[in-house]
Amino acid sequence: MSTESASLKNHNTFALPVNAAHLVIAEQIEMMIKAWQKAQKRKEPMLVLGEGSNVLFLEDFAGTVMINNLKGIEIREQDDAWHLHVSAGENWHHLVSHTLECGIPGLENLALIPGLVGSAPIQNIGAYGIELKQVCEYVDLLDLTTGEIDRIDHQDCEFGYRESIFKHELKDGFVIVGVGLRLNKQWSPQLNYGDLTKLDPQTVTPLQVFESVCAMRRSKLPDPSITGNAGSFFKNPLVSGETANELLTQYPSMPHYPQQDGQVKLAAGWLIDQCSLKGYQIGGAAVHRQQALVLVNADNASSQDVVALARHVRNTVASKFGVWLEPEVRFIGAIGELNAVEVLS
């Protein structure tokens, strides 16, 4: 399906009232290539979009927004594991539920993360002690210029905390069209986070983990279908061991997570909360009252309201703690992605 000048309000979970010059819902790879060629001919930019749950549109998009709607889940069983090939337009949470219904565990900690399967490798989605990289076998990537599909092995995806090669070298002119997952038959529950630590590893079932994760998420995170938001607005910052120790002397109860490389991850939500910013509002944009890391569209916010609020939060945290937060959310301008830190500086 292809539409001229369309509203993106239902295609971004912040529910910002922005438009695109053209909107294409691509059900087949051929449609994606055609839409790209058309945009090239018009000398207009193109943006590939999933469910818009990790983007902030700063203004109308002056080209084609192409929504990935490729469907299909194939499951192949082997002695030690299930191998899944999932088309990029499948909904992530639907996949998690579907695997559990089929008696296949392994994705339960990643329940209720909004968005599409094809977007999951881009920031290596993670929650409750698991990241996509632990189950991802490969990513199928369409090169829009050549029309060829390359299979990128998981070790070449350069996965990191909210990071992958798909945010860098393999960003422009490429579309993720499929994802391969390997789910081990030998299941061991991951119960290190939050309320999951209360579950008994000897008797717990994948479904109980799934339900506990869903309950925790529902209690903290706003439902985008009711209150616009894009999940954590900022990434949790990584600081040196020295900086973490200095902060800990002043704030002994500060949550901190030492990493293998000697760096220490801090909780951005805690830093923002300590600045008493919960509920703080600029225009229609506010800091969520249950989780300070989430910025919400509280009352018909404009893109400028969200940017002004994010800038205020970032500056306030920096002046109290000397730590500069970086957005996790991707900032989209009229012709493509912008450097979010530069926009907020």
Contact residues toward ligand FAD (CB under 6 A) are 13, 47-55, 68, 88, 113-116, 118-120, 122-123, 125-127, 175-176, 221, 224, 229-231, 330
* Catalytic residue from among 51, 232, 314, 330: 232
Residue 236 Rama label (left phi>0; alpha psi -120 to 50; beta): beta
Cβ atoms of 315 and 28 closer than 8 Å:
no
Q: Within its chain, how far is the Cα of 15 from the centroid?
A: 16
Q: At what angle do helices 206-220 and 92-101 cross, to 10 degrees?
A: 150
Please give the full DSSP string across 164-217, using - where no structure is assigned: -GGGTTT-TTEEEEEEEEEEESS------SGGGGGS-TTT--HHHHHHHHHHHH
In Å, the largest CA–CA distance within the chain is 60
Residue placing its CB nearer to ligand EPU in the complex, 92 or 128: 128
Distance CA 319, CA 311 (A): 12
Q: Does 147 bind ligand EPU (CB under 6 A)?
A: no
DSSP character at residue 40:
H
Shortest Å, Cβ 245 to ligand FAD: 28
Site for ligand EPU in 263-322 (CB under 6 A): 267, 269-270, 273, 291-293
> Which listed range, 1-9, 72-80, 230-238, 296-304, lies at the site for ligand EPU (CB under 6 A)?
230-238
Tokens of 287: 């800091």
Cβ atoms of 287 and 278 closer than 8 Å:
yes
Q: Which of 316, 232, 216, 217 is nearest to 271 (CA)?
A: 316
| Binding-residue pattern over the window 153 to 192 for ligand EPU, x denoting contact by CB under 6 A | ----------------------------------------
Shortest Å, Cβ 214 to ligand EPU: 12
Shortest Å, Cβ 231 to ligand EPU: 3
Q: Does 131 bind ligand EPU (CB under 6 A)?
A: no
Residue 115 contact among ligand FAD, ligand EPU, none, beta carbon within 5 to 8 Å by kind:
ligand FAD
Active site residue 232: yes
Task: Catalogue the active-site residues.
Answer: 162, 232, 328
Residues that bind ligand EPU (CB under 6 A): 127-128, 193, 220, 231-232, 235-236, 255, 267, 269-270, 273, 291-293, 328
